[in-house]
Amino acid sequence: MILFKEAAPLSKHISKLRDKGNSIGFAPTMGALHSGHISLIEKSKTICDITVSSIFVNPTQFNDPKDFEKYPVTIGSDISALESAGCDILFIPSVSEIYPAGIGKAPHYDLGEIELLLEGRFRPGHFQGVCQVVHRLLDIVKPGKLFMGQKDYQQCIVVKKLVQLLNLPIDVITVGTYREESGLAMSSRNLRLSKDEKLEAAAIFKMLQYIKENRTTNPHSTLENYAANYLIKSGFRAVDYVSIADAKTLQPTSAISEGIKRVALIAAFIGDVRLIDNLLLDE
Ligand code: AMP
Same domain? 263 vs 134: no
Q: Is residue 165 part of a domain?
A: yes
Same domain? 58 vs 159: yes
pLDDT tens for the chain, residues 1 to 283 = 999 999 999 999 999 999 999 999 999 999 999 999 999 999 999 999 999 999 999 999 998 999 999 999 999 999 999 999 999 999 999 999 999 999 888 889 999 999 999 999 999 999 999 999 999 999 999 999 999 999 999 999 999 999 999 999 999 999 999 999 999 999 999 999 999 999 999 999 999 999 999 998 999 999 999 999 999 999 999 999 999 999 999 999 875 567 899 999 999 999 999 999 999 999 8
- Return the pLDDT at 26: 99
CA 144 – ligand 1 centroid, Å? 19
Boundary-marking domain end, from 141, 175, 209: 175
CATH number for 140: 3.40.50.620
Same domain? 61 vs 119: yes
Residue 34 designated active-site: no
Domain span holding position 252: 188-278
Give the integer Cα–Cα distance in Å for 226 and 213: 13
Of the candidates 37, 126, 135, 220, the residue annotated as catalytic is 37
* Ligand 1 pocket, residues with Cβ under 6 angstroms: 29-30, 36-37, 39-40, 148-149, 151-152, 175, 177-178, 185-188
- Return the pLDDT at 253: 86
Closest ligand 1 atom to residue 186 Cα is 19
Same domain? 123 vs 204: no
pTM score: 0.97
Same domain? 20 vs 109: yes
Backbone angles phi, psi at 171, to 5 degrees: -85, 125
Q: Is residue 180 part of a domain?
A: no
- Return the pLDDT at 239: 98
User: Among candidates 225, 229, 261, 270, which has minimal Cα distance to 243?
Assistant: 225
Same domain? 147 vs 264: no
* C-alpha distances in Å from residue 91, one per residue of 30, 38, 97, 158, 209: 11, 15, 11, 23, 37
CA 270 – ligand 1 centroid, Å? 19
Same domain? 216 vs 104: no
Q: Which of 78, 91, 138, 151 to mutate to test the pocket of ligand 1 (most atoms within 8 A of CB)?
A: 151
Q: Is residue 182 part of a domain?
A: no
CA 151 – ligand 1 centroid, Å? 6
Same domain? 49 vs 72: yes
Give the integer Cα–Cα distance in Å for 18 and 50: 9
Same domain? 123 vs 31: yes
Helix, coil or strand: residue 208: helix
Boundary-marking domain end, from 149, 175, 201: 175
Closest ligand 1 atom to residue 179 Cα is 19
- Return the pLDDT at 256: 59
CATH number for 196: 3.30.1300.10
Q: Is residue 181 part of a domain?
A: no
* C-alpha distances in Å from residue 81, one per residue of 71, 75, 182, 186: 19, 10, 23, 15
Closest ligand 1 atom to residue 177 Cα is 20
Same domain? 151 vs 96: yes
CA 175 – ligand 1 centroid, Å? 9
Q: Is residue 283 part of a domain?
A: no
Strand pairing class (2-4; 89-91): parallel
Same domain? 171 vs 217: no
Boundary-marking domain end, from 175, 208, 232: 175
- CA-proximal residue: ligand 1, atom 5 (nearest): 29
CA 35 – ligand 1 centroid, Å? 9
- CA-proximal residue: ligand 1, atom 8 (nearest): 37
Q: Is residue 256 part of a domain?
A: yes
- Return the pLDDT at 255: 59
* Tally of domains in the chain: 2
- Return the pLDDT at 104: 81
Q: Is residue 207 part of a domain?
A: yes
Same domain? 268 vs 192: yes
Q: Is residue 62 part of a domain?
A: yes
Closest ligand 1 atom to residue 32 Cα is 2
- Return the pLDDT at 283: 83
